[in-house]
Amino acid sequence: MISLNYYEPETQQWQPITFNQLPTQLPADARLWINLNDASVDEQQTILQHFAIAPTLAEDFGRQRHPPKLEAETHFTLLILRGYADVDFSEYSGSAQVNLLYSKQVLISRIYCHNASLLNQLKPQIKTTQSADIAEWIKHLILTVSASYLEKLINFEEEQSELEDGMLQRGTDEQMARIMRYRSVLRKINRNLAYQKDIFADAFYEEQNPLLRHFSATDVRDFYEKFERLHSMTDLYYDQLSDLVEGYISTTSHQINERMKVLTIVSTIFIPLTFIAGIYGMNFMYMPELQIANAYFIVLIFMALGGIAGLIWFKIRGWW
C-alpha cells in the first residue's frame, strides 16, 4: 500500500491523499512525501514511472541490499544510507537501509529496518499545519543514521575496557569468542561508514555535486565530519580488539612454550635412563654385568648421576 502525504499550499496543511488524487503538476509551494515501506513491487513501479525516474536510479532504489550511494539525474537525487539497527555489537542481523529519491518538492522513501524504534526515528515527522522543507527531512534522516552508530560506539567503549581488563588478568576462550564476534561486526559496519564518509567527502571536490543542490557547504561538511568520526572510532576499536587478540595469542604461546620446556627437560633426562633400563631388561641368558654382585646398585647410581648431571647442565645453560 502506498502512503502519500500532501502539503496543500492553499490550506497550508498536510493531508493524506490517494494516488488518484495526486495533482498532475505540483504547485510551486506544494510538498509531497510518498512512503513506499508497505508498497508492493507493482505499486512502487507505478510511482517511479509517474515521476519519470531514470531506470538506473529506479533499479537501485528498489533494491533491499545496496551499498550506500549518491547519484542524481536532472530532477531527482538518489541517496542510499545504512544505519545500525541492532542493540549492540554482539550480533549483526543486518543494516537499516534507507532508500531515498528526492527533489525540491518530492520525497520518495523506502526504509528496510527490523528495529521498530529506529524505523520510527527514520520517518519524516509531519506537523499538520507547518510546511516541511524536503532538505530538512533529508538532513534529519542523515543525522539519525549517524546517531544510530554513535550511541552504540559510545556504549561499546565501556564494554571494551572491561574486556581489556579481563584479558590482562586472565584471558579465557569465552572472552576470545566475544572479541572475535565484535571484530566481525565492526568490520562490517566499518565498510558501511567508509562508503557514507566518501559520499560526503566527494562533495568538497565536485562543484556540481548533487548534495550541493539542497544543502549548504557547511551542512555537507557537518555530515562528512560525523561519518568520518564514526569511521575513525570503528577503526580504533577494531585495532584495539586486534591487539587484545594478538596479546592473548602471545600469552597462550608463551604458556605453551613453558610447558613444552618442562616436558622437554623431563624427556631429555629420562630418555637415557629408559635406554639403560631397556638394555638390562632384555632377556638374554648371558649378560656379563649380571654376574657382578653390586651391578644393580652401580647401575642405579650411574642413572641417578646422569639425571642430576642433566639438571645441572640445564641450569648452567639457563634453560631451567
Nine-digit cell string for 288: 656379563
Note whether 187 and 43 are same-domain residues. Answer: yes
- Whole-Å CA distances, 253 to 21, 163, 319: 72, 20, 17
Q: Report pLDDT for 61.
A: 92
Note whether 159 and 283 are same-domain residues. Answer: no
Identify whether the C-beta of residue 102 lies closer than 8 Å to the C-beta of residue 217: no
Range in 67-71, 111-115, 173-177, 220-224 the model is least confident about: 173-177
Q: What mean pLDDT comes out for the span 102-131? A: 83
Residues in Cβ contact with 98 at an 8 Å cutoff, skipping those fewer than 6 apart:
79, 80, 81, 82, 83, 109, 111, 122, 141, 145
Residues 236-263 pLDDT 10s:
999 988 888 877 777 777 677 777 877 7
Q: What is the domain range of residue 306?
A: 259-317
Note whether 279 and 193 are same-domain residues. Answer: no
Q: Report pLDDT for 309.
A: 81
Neighbouring C-beta atoms of residue 7, cutoff 10 Å: 22
Note whether 134 and 237 are same-domain residues. Answer: yes
Note whether 148 and 296 are same-domain residues. Answer: no
Note whether 164 and 272 are same-domain residues. Answer: no
| H or E element in which residue 6 lies | strand 3-8
| H or E element in which residue 152 lies | helix 134-170
Q: Report pLDDT for 132.
A: 67
Q: Report pLDDT for 128.
A: 57
Q: What mean pLDDT comes out for the span 154-177? A: 81
Residues in Cβ contact with 83 at an 8 Å cutoff, skipping those fewer than 6 apart:
95, 96, 97, 98, 113, 118, 122, 144, 145, 148, 149
Identify whether the C-beta of residue 107 lies closer than 8 Å to the C-beta of residue 32: yes
Identify whether the C-beta of residue 21 lies closer than 8 Å to the C-beta of residue 63: no
Among candidate residues 251, 272, 296, the one where a domain is terminated: 251
Q: What mean pLDDT comes out for the span 223-239? A: 93
Residues 103-113 pLDDT 10s:
888 999 999 99
Spatial distance between the Cα atoms of 120 and 190, rounded to a whole number of angstroms:
24
Percent share of the chain, pLDDT over 90: 24
Spatial distance between the Cα atoms of 6 and 26, rounded to a whole number of angstroms:
10
What secondary structure letter does DSSP report for 294? T
Spatial distance between the Cα atoms of 68 and 83, rounded to a whole number of angstroms:
10
Q: Report pLDDT for 175.
A: 82
- Number of domains present in the structure of the chain: 2
Q: Report pLDDT for 130.
A: 58
Neighbouring C-beta atoms of residue 20, cutoff 10 Å: 5
Amino acid at the residue 142: I
Query: For the domain that residue 102 is a member of, what is the CATH number?
Result: 3.30.460.20
Does the pTM of the predicted model rise above 0.75? yes
Among candidate residues 202, 235, 251, the one where a domain is terminated: 251
Note whether 134 and 228 are same-domain residues. Answer: yes
Burial level of 294, CB count in 10 A (0-12/13-18/19+)? Answer: exposed
What secondary structure letter does DSSP report for 14? E
Residues 30-51 pLDDT 10s:
888 999 998 898 989 999 998 8
Note whether 303 and 195 are same-domain residues. Answer: no
Residues 206-216 pLDDT 10s:
767 788 778 88
The rounded mean pLDDT for the chain is: 84
Nearest Cα residue to 64 out of 102, 107, 97: 97
First-to-final CA distance of the chain: 78
Residues 52-106 pLDDT 10s:
899 999 999 999 889 999 988 888 899 999 999 988 888 888 889 999 999 888 9
Note whether 31 and 147 are same-domain residues. Answer: yes
Among candidate residues 199, 216, 251, the one where a domain is terminated: 251
Beta partners for 16? Answer: 5
pLDDT band at 320 (very low <50, low <70, confident <90, very high): low
Note whether 73 and 220 are same-domain residues. Answer: yes
Query: For the domain that residue 292 is a member of, what is the CATH number?
Result: 1.20.58.340
Note whether 216 and 288 are same-domain residues. Answer: no
Note whether 183 and 291 are same-domain residues. Answer: no
Highest mean pLDDT among 226-235, 274-283, 308-317: 226-235
Q: What is the largest CA-CA distance in the chain?
A: 126
